[in-house]
């Protein structure tokens, strides 16, 4: 297990997935999904979230413990545990509505955090959103930051209402991952490639945009070329947690390459070219492909990811 301490800051919740006339509850939430993904990939990770000491909250705590994720003290301080109602439509695509309560527990020993990941509704929904921003600012001088806006229009209001907060976090981040749908909602009249170029001028060293079945785009601040990442072929059960799995794989790959986790790693990432980060990008796409093959936010192990990698003809020729 990696010695670097990763903190995932944001929502953990119950996904109530409706498909084919039935509803099944899964443990989920963007930041718990990423934390679980990172733990399964061999990293030391904790989560600062907000759930209640009720039956659903106990399931979240148990799932975190089973995956090897440390729960930050005070996380069970909510009055009710958040539920995301996911309606699975054609091609496995999920749409969401929420019953949510969000704040942040009191966090300690932030100077020991080497990498912080945050995003989604936790970064924009108050009162926890401001607490998230303050925590990112506290960690950045000694650790690295990643951010995924993971837009949820049902909770975020309008793009105009959240764009300032989103871009505050973009400015503070070393790595930003978004989906093409996220950027389409935030910037309805701008091409994805243009937004990527704009955000890289704000501070990040690397930006990735996932494009569902069409793979992903990636840009580095230190390289003028746009990299197109082909998807790993998979039979889709549903897409719940796919973006979070991609994020976990990306962070994992960059930590393994020593391109995140310290101020010195940030400097190395700033000087990177594509060959330096392609293994991390492939780990990201592979973890996501393994997630969509199962219902719910499944987190593959490093052994599963490596086994899939060696079977991929692109990497065995």
The label of the residue with tokens 């301490």 reads: 5
- Among residues 51, 98, 56, 107, the alpha carbon closest in space to that of 79 is found at 51
Residue 307: inside a domain: no
More confident residue, 239 or 145: 145
**Residue 136 banded pLDDT, cuts 50, 70, 90:** very high
Q: Evaluate whether residue 304 is within a structural domain.
A: no
Residue 41: give the domain boundaries.
5-298
CATH of the domain at 116: 3.40.1190.20
pLDDT at 310: 66
Selected residue with higher pLDDT from 314 and 117: 117
Lowest mean pLDDT among 18-27, 217-226, 260-269: 18-27
β-strands 144-148, 70-71 pairing: unpaired
Residue 176, both tokens: 């930003």
The pLDDT, as a whole number, for residue 78 is: 96
Would you say 250 and 283 are in contact if contact means Cβ atoms under 8 Å apart? yes
pLDDT (0 to 100) of residue 224: 87
Residue 314 falls inside a structural domain: no
At 85 the pLDDT is 83
User: Nearest to residue 48, comparing CAs of 152, 138, 173?
Assistant: 138
Task: Between 26 and 174, name the one with better pLDDT.
Answer: 174
Q: What span, in angstroms and rounded, lies between the C-alpha atoms of 165 and 51?
A: 23
Whether 101 is covered by a domain: the verdict is yes
Q: What is the pLDDT of residues 41-100, one digit of tens each?
A: 999 999 999 999 999 999 999 999 999 999 999 999 999 999 988 777 766 667 777 888
Lookup: tokens for 276: 């330096």
Mean pLDDT of 172-187: 96
Residue 176 in domain: yes
Residues whose CB falls within 8 Å of the CB of residue 230, separated by 6 or more in sequence, listed in order: 215, 285, 314
For residue 241, the model assigns a pLDDT of: 61
- Specify the number of domains making up the chain: 1
């Amino acid at each position: 297990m990696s010695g670097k301490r990763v903190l995932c800051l944001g929502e953990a919740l119950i996904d109530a997935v409706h498909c084919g006339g039935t509803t099944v509850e899964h443990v989920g939430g963007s930041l718990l999904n990423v934390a679980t993904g990172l733990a399964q990939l061999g990293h030391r990770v904790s989560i600062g979230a907000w759930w209640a000491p009720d039956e659903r909250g106990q399931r979240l705590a148990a799932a975190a413990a089973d995956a090897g994720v440390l729960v930050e003290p005070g996380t069970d301080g909510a009055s009710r545990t958040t539920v995301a109602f996911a309606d699975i439509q054609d091609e496995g695509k999920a749409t969401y509505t929420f019953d949510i309560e969000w704040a942040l527990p009191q966090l300690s020993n932030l100077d020991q955090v080497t990498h912080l990941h945050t995003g989604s509704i936790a970064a924009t929904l108050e009162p926890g959103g401001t607490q998230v921003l303050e925590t990112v600012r506290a960690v950045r001088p000694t650790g690295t930051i990643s951010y995924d806006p993971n837009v949820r229009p049902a909770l975020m209001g309008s793009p105009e209402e959240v764009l300032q907060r989103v871009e505050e976090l973009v400015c503070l981040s070393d790595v930003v991952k978004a989906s093409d749908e996220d950027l389409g909602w935030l910037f309805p009249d701008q091409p994805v490639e243009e937004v990527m170029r704009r955000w890289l001028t704000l501070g990040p060293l690397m930006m990735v945009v996932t494009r569902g079945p069409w793979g992903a785009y990636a840009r580095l601040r230190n390289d003028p070329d746009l990299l197109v990442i082909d998807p790993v072929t998979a039979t889709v059960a549903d897409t719940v947690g796919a973006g979070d799995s991609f994020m976990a794989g990306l962070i994992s790959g960059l930590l393994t390459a020593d391109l995140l986790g310290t101020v010195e790693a940030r400097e190395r990432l700033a000087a990177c070219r594509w060959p330096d980060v392609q293994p991390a990008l492939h780990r990201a796409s592979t973890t996501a492909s393994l997630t969509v093959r199962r219902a719910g936010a499944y987190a593959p192990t490093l052994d599963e990811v490596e086994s899939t990698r060696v079977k991929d003809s692109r990497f065995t020729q």
